[in-house]
Amino acid sequence: MNNTQIRFNLIVLSLLFLPIQCFCQSSRFNWEKAKPETEGVSSSTLNNATKYLDANFPYYRAMIIIRHDKEIYEKRNNKKVFSSSSDSIKAYISSYSNIRYTVLDSIGNLHNIRSCSKSIISLLIGIAIEKGYINSVNDPVSMYLPEYFTNCTDSIKKTITIKHLLTHKSGLINIDKHLDFINNKDWVNFILRAPLTSKPGEVFDYNTANTHILSAVITKVTHKNALEFAKDKLFNPLGIRNVKWQCD
């Protein structure tokens, strides 16, 4: 793989996560516009990225690129997104039949950012450390949620650290594969009481349980739920005003 391919792949990967952040920022900060070449970026590479998105992610909403504090590229996808009641959307999300997803018809509405929320939780953990609410990523989770470990007989489970949660190496039950957790009144308790699937730090397992426990840690140390803390320390400073965040 040559350098051009590497740059192109990085651009495409990043763009999958940019629309909401850039939409909010551009409306607040009014980025100065500039041609890509004046900021050291090839227009042909950006056009190729757009073609890749059109071919592989037809329902993306927008692609906006900021470089050197200037907006060098913007592409809005005006393709009509299928109705949530149509057969197409039912087929599209058939593998997620137990989970409600939002598919939008127009720019400006709330977007379900799905696993991007994991990155937001990671940012909030970093802010909590910076503000002194959490000492270190190497702290055991049991330090912050001792009530869930009082009767725990698994000494290995007590070694799970915040870093293990952030890196998806906690060994906790994968709730993305065990959707029955939704019917449980206390998701944190369900996750932490279930047997480990691997020793903490050894196996990577992309798992929403990790970020849910991180959210519980944030709530415990800040005395605010994750949404309240995010609004105060992250969303409001970025000009992100319209947010919905489900709670258990």
HEC-encoded secondary structure of 27-89: HHHCCEECCHHHHCCCHHHHHHHHHHHHHHCCCCCEEEEEECCEEEEEEECCCCCCCCCCHHH
Q: What is the mean pLDDT, run by run of 10 residues, along the chain of 248 residues?
A: 38 34 44 92 90 82 86 80 48 44 53 83 97 98 96 94 98 86 85 95 95 96 94 90 78
DSSP state of 235: I
Per-residue confidence (pLDDT) for residue 248, from 0 to 100 = 67
What torsion do the CA atoms of 222, 228, 234, 240 make, to the nearest 10 degrees? 180
CA–CA dist 247, 102 (Å, integer) = 17
Burial 179-190 (b: 16+ CB within 10 A, else e): eebeeeeebbeb
C-alpha 60, offset from chain centre: 16
Per-residue confidence (pLDDT) for residue 240, from 0 to 100 = 83
Per-residue confidence (pLDDT) for residue 201, from 0 to 100 = 97
CA–CA dist 72, 151 (Å, integer) = 56
User: Taking the chain, what is the end-to-end CA distance rounded to the nearest angstrom?
Assistant: 45
Beta bridge partners of 66: 71
Beta bridge partners of 71: 33, 66
DSSP state of 151: T
Where does the chain have alpha helices with state H?
3-15, 19-29, 43-56, 87-92, 116-130, 141-144, 162-166, 187-193, 208-222, 226-230, 236-238
> Which region holds residue 89: left if phi is over 0, alpha if psi is between -120 and 50, else beta?
alpha
Per-residue confidence (pLDDT) for residue 238, from 0 to 100 = 85
Q: How many CB atoms lie within 10 A of CB 146?
A: 13
Angle of CA points 128, 112, 175, to nearest 5°: 70
